């Protein structure tokens, strides 16, 4: 039974992570659903859809939003979980007890791995069906006629073929008052005009007609438009009717009819991996067949009226073979034949050639358009096939981004984690959308565009996990400041303070001997590299790294020894010793052949040479400064400095 018992640490981490994941998942799903509603609100509002239809649509839309909400929820939940552990010093307590960060993350890695497996089956089996139903309902809602909404004081044209004006509307019994109806359904320039003191608008039981009951009004209609031309009798006819009550039946389909979903099932969004592979193979075979036919046709087309290939049947199979060349006894000058024609003949020849060229170009463009459409359809299927796997990997990547970030920043709650999660997800979404468009348009291979975001974020997750496990100061400003100073060659300021307790006092003769030795080493280095290195000399050799490293260590030893002095002036002068850095630009490579290759690549070599010569000049200035500071410290020891002279 102990084999099935879950460790207390594992259950503790799962109990901390699972509620956070559920909360963030539903929050992300709600935000994405609001975005969906704002995007398609014009297609849904005013259509008279019942709550059951809207609920079904929103359910399928929520299922379709899971691939985008789940990775973001895992990122935010892992960031909040480990941020809370770091903020409440629980993570520090676990590490102090000998438990590494990887051990703390292990149960969540297994849990997120199970979520990734479930996400794969969701993408393959559930998502195609939900997307088919969602788009079918959405397109059906778009095709549905809008429900009538009569606005008083305005001309309403929602009823096809009729413009209705209502002066006042009773909201209690839905009665309309002072109604004017313009019937513009016929082609006549003069519409029928119907007025009524009051009216009531209803639907028939099948909701396919509008039943308009009118009370106390008039009917005006010009009948002259139907008469024959030239007949004065027909042109003067009109109709006027006064009625007590009248019923008008108008065709208007207000029912909601769901479209057949077979059309959506045949699209790439409604297929699983097996169906996508079958469709891709079919489209590829079609493209190859069309390409072969175009190639054969191009070979059969005559060039300048001479056919070079012909089709013959061998073994019941059509085969292309070369047409035997016709021997010409005398050379023919085509230009002389064309010049021998009169103007009309020349125009006829040019027009015929132009017509043939235009026809050939149109045929080629049509075939190319057909093949381009098939190729785009195949890329769509390939993108959907690749996306079956990217969701699972995205869940793992976002966990390995959120967990180490939470352990590093040590901030829980919904403040800093939300900001970092949103920034990372926006970065991921931009890369994902860029790769998708590149793959969809055929500018990149489909697999390269779809896996672009994973290829960029996976090394970032590995880097953050490594830094979090080793307790590296990723967000320490001083560490980044030192890094950029080393990268750009900026000077580093040395800081020393007088020690309260000194074990080894500074011995002036020993200190003087060390200073003399340091000045000698600096002088030898400067005499060795007294002039600026040439282009090839710099790229192939540079400065000697061993001597430079030894000189830097000698400076640090002298400064460390002088820091034990009880004289504040000595401490201040020791801070004036510059830091001899080990920059890459001092010595680019240990392989002269590689330096020669950089020299041959002219723009890169020149740029490296300009930057390196500048850094070397700064280095020689720092070494000269070491000699000057050493002389000043010797003057302090000998009592010949400005302070002793003033005394």
**Per-residue confidence band for 473, with pLDDT thresholds at 50, 70 and 90:** low
Backbone dihedral region of 119: left (phi > 0), alpha (psi from -120 to 50 degrees) or beta? alpha
Contact assessment for residue 99 and residue 8, using Cβ atoms and an 8 Å cutoff: no
Does residue 186 carry a pLDDT above 80? no
Burial of residue 27 (CB within 10 Å: 0-12, 13-18, 19+) is middle
Query: How much of the chain exceeds pLDDT 70, in percent?
Result: 84
**Per-residue confidence band for 647, with pLDDT thresholds at 50, 70 and 90:** very low
Query: Packing angle between helix 602-638 and helix 508-528, nearest 10 degrees?
Result: 150
Q: From 474, 461, 350, 300, select the one nearest 395 (Cα to Cα).
A: 461
Lowest mean pLDDT among 19-23, 365-369, 570-574, 625-629: 365-369
Q: Identify the pLDDT of residue 144.
A: 62
- Residue 388 to residue 280: CA distance in whole angstroms: 15
Residue 344 is assigned to a structural domain of this protein:
no
Q: Identify the pLDDT of residue 231.
A: 45
- Residue 428 to residue 432: CA distance in whole angstroms: 6
Q: H helices of 410-451, where? A: 416-440, 446-450
Among 207, 236, 251, give the residue marking a domain's end: 251
Both 503 and 436 in one domain: the answer is: no
Across the chain, which distance is largest between two alpha carbons, in Å? 137
Among 191, 226, 251, give the residue marking a domain's end: 251
Note the Cα 440 to chain centre separation in Å. Answer: 13
Both 159 and 32 in one domain: the answer is: no
Spatial neighbors of 626 by CB under 8 A, at least 6 apart, are 518, 519, 522, 555, 577, 578, 580
- Residue 419 to residue 398: CA distance in whole angstroms: 15
- Parallel, antiparallel, or unpaired: how do β-strands 309-314 and 162-170 relate? unpaired
Residue 150 is assigned to a structural domain of this protein:
no
Both 488 and 562 in one domain: the answer is: yes
Positive or negative: CA dihedral 549, 552, 554, 560: negative
**Per-residue confidence band for 26, with pLDDT thresholds at 50, 70 and 90:** very high
Please give the residue range of the domain that contains residue 216: 155-251
Does residue 1 carry a pLDDT above 60? no
Q: Which residue has the tokens 């009592």?
A: 639
- Residue 366 to residue 617: CA distance in whole angstroms: 66
The pLDDT of 207-232, averaged and rounded, is 70
Contact assessment for residue 164 and residue 181, using Cβ atoms and an 8 Å cutoff: yes
Both 124 and 161 in one domain: the answer is: no
Q: Identify the pLDDT of residue 240.
A: 83
**pLDDT (tens digit per residue) in 501-558:** 777 888 888 889 999 999 999 999 999 998 899 888 888 888 988 999 999 999 999 9
| Bigger pLDDT: 239 vs 111 | 111
Contact assessment for residue 290 and residue 374, using Cβ atoms and an 8 Å cutoff: yes
- Residue 6 to residue 12: CA distance in whole angstroms: 10
Both 535 and 613 in one domain: the answer is: yes
Residue 571 is assigned to a structural domain of this protein:
yes
**Per-residue confidence band for 182, with pLDDT thresholds at 50, 70 and 90:** confident
Residue 192 is assigned to a structural domain of this protein:
yes
**pLDDT (tens digit per residue) in 430-465:** 999 999 999 988 889 999 999 999 999 999 989 888
Domain tally, the chain: 3
Q: From 236, 194, 256, 231, select the one nearest 51 (Cα to Cα).
A: 256
Q: Identify the pLDDT of residue 471.
A: 76
Both 621 and 498 in one domain: the answer is: yes
Does residue 42 carry a pLDDT above 80? no
The pLDDT of 564-588, averaged and rounded, is 86
Both 428 and 487 in one domain: the answer is: no
Among 442, 469, 496, give the residue marking a domain's end: 469
Backbone dihedral region of 45: left (phi > 0), alpha (psi from -120 to 50 degrees) or beta? beta
Residue 303 is assigned to a structural domain of this protein:
no
Residue 210 is assigned to a structural domain of this protein:
yes
- Residue 167 to residue 152: CA distance in whole angstroms: 5
Both 500 and 598 in one domain: the answer is: yes
pTM to 2 decimals?
0.63
- Residue 365 to residue 216: CA distance in whole angstroms: 66
**pLDDT (tens digit per residue) in 274-285:** 999 999 998 888
Contacts of 165-170 with CB under 8 Å at 24 or more apart are none
Residue 313 DSSP SS3: strand
Q: Identify the pLDDT of residue 490.
A: 61
Residue 418 CA: distances (Å) to CA of 84, 406, 411, 473: 13, 11, 11, 21
Q: From 416, 456, 412, select the one nearest 434 (Cα to Cα).
A: 456
Contact assessment for residue 178 and residue 218, using Cβ atoms and an 8 Å cutoff: no
Residue 134 is assigned to a structural domain of this protein:
yes
| Bigger pLDDT: 488 vs 278 | 278
The pLDDT of 98-120, averaged and rounded, is 92
The pLDDT of 275-298, averaged and rounded, is 82
Backbone dihedral region of 32: left (phi > 0), alpha (psi from -120 to 50 degrees) or beta? alpha
Spatial neighbors of 135 by CB under 8 A, at least 6 apart, are 264, 269
Both 33 and 134 in one domain: the answer is: yes
**Per-residue confidence band for 75, with pLDDT thresholds at 50, 70 and 90:** very high
Does residue 305 carry a pLDDT above 70? no
Q: H helices of 65-100, where? A: 66-87, 90-96
Q: Identify the pLDDT of residue 400.
A: 93
Contact assessment for residue 506 and residue 528, using Cβ atoms and an 8 Å cutoff: no
Does residue 4 carry a pLDDT above 50? no
Query: How much of the chain exceeds pLDDT 90, in percent?
Result: 25
**pLDDT (tens digit per residue) in 118-168:** 999 999 999 999 999 998 888 887 766 555 667 788 887 777 778 888 888
Token couple for 531: 């002039």
Residue 102 is assigned to a structural domain of this protein:
yes
Does residue 365 carry a pLDDT above 60? yes
Both 121 and 213 in one domain: the answer is: no
**Per-residue confidence band for 228, with pLDDT thresholds at 50, 70 and 90:** very low
- Residue 549 to residue 585: CA distance in whole angstroms: 14
The pLDDT of 379-397, averaged and rounded, is 92
Contacts of 329-335 with CB under 8 Å at 24 or more apart are none
Q: Identify the pLDDT of residue 226.
A: 47
Q: Identify the pLDDT of residue 24.
A: 92
Both 421 and 462 in one domain: the answer is: yes
Both 405 and 515 in one domain: the answer is: no
The pLDDT of 601-617, averaged and rounded, is 84
E strand or H helix that includes residue 407: helix 343-409
């Amino acid at each position: 039974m102990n084999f099935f018992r879950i460790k207390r640490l594992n259950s503790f981490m799962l109990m901390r992570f699972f509620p956070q994941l559920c909360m963030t998942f539903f929050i992300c799903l709600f935000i994405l659903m609001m975005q969906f509603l704002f995007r398609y609100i014009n297609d849904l509002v005013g259509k008279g859809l019942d709550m059951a239809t809207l609920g079904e649509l929103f359910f399928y839309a929520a299922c379709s939003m899971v691939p985008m909400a789940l990775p973001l929820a895992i990122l935010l939940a892992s960031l909040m979980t480990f941020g809370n552990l770091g903020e409440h010093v629980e993570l520090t307590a676990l590490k102090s007890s000998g438990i590494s960060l990887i051990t703390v993350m292990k149960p969540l890695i297994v849990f997120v791995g199970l979520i990734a497996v479930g996400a794969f089956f969701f993408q393959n089996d559930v998502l195609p069906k939900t997307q088919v139903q969602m788009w079918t309902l959405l397109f059906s809602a778009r095709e549905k006629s809008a429900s009538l909404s009569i606005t008083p004081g305005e001309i309403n044209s929602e009823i096809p073929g009729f413009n209705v004006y209502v002066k006042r509307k009773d909201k209690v019994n839905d009665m309309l008052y002072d109604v004017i109806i313009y019937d513009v359904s016929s082609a006549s320039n003069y519409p029928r005009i119907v007025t009524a003191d009051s009216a009531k608008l209803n639907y028939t039981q099948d909701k396919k007609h509008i039943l308009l009951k009118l009370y106390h009004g008039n009917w005006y209609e010009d009948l002259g438009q139907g008469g024959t031309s030239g007949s004065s009798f027909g042109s003067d006819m009109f109709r006027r009717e006064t009625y007590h009550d009248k019923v008008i039946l108008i065709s208007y389909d207000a029912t909601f009819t769901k479209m057949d979903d077979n059309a959506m099932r045949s699209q790439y969004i409604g297929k699983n991996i097996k169906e996508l592979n079958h469709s891709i193979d079919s489209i590829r075979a079609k493209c190859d067949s069309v390409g072969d036919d175009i190639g054969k046709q191009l070979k059969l087309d005559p060039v300048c009226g001479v056919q070079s290939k012909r089709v013959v049947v061998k073994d019941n199979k059509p085969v292309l073979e070369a047409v035997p060349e016709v021997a010409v006894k005398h050379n023919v000058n085509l230009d002389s034949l064309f010049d021998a024609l009169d103007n009309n003949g020349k125009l006829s020849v040019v027009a015929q050639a132009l017509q043939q060229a235009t026809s050939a170009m149109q045929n080629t463009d049509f075939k190319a358009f057909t093949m381009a459409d098939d190729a785009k359809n195949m890329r769509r299927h390939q993108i959907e096939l690749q996306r079956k796997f990217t969701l699972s990997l995205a869940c793992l990547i976002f966990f390995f981004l959120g967990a180490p970030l939470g352990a590093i920043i040590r901030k829980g709650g919904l403040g800093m984690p939300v900001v970092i999660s949103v920034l990372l997800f926006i970065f991921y979404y931009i890369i994902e959308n860029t790769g998708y468009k590149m793959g969809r348009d055929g500018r990149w291979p489909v697999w390269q565009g779809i896996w672009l975001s994973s290829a960029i974020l996976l090394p970032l997750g590995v880097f953050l996990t490594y830094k979090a496990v080793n307790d590296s100061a990723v967000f320490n400003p001083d560490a980044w400041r030192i890094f950029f100073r080393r990268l750009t060659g900026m000077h580093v300021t040395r800081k020393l303070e007088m020690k309260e307790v000194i074990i080894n006092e500074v011995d002036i003769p020993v200190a003087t001997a060390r200073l003399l030795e340091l000045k000698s080493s600096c002088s030898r280095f400067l005499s060795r590299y007294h002039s600026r290195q040439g282009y090839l000399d710099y790229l192939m050799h540079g400065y000697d790294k061993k001597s430079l490293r030894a000189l830097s260590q000698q400076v640090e030893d002298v400064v460390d020894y002088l820091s034990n002095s009880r004289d504040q002036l000595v401490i201040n002068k020791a801070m004036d010793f510059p830091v001899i850095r080990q920059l890459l630009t001092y010595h680019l490579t240990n392989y002269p052949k590689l330096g020669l290759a950089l020299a041959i690549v002219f723009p890169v070599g020149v740029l490296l040479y300009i930057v390196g010569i500048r850094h070397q000049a700064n280095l020689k200035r720092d070494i000269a400064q070491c000699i000057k500071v050493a002389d000043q410290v010797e003057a302090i020891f000998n009592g010949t400095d400005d302070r002793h002279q003033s005394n």
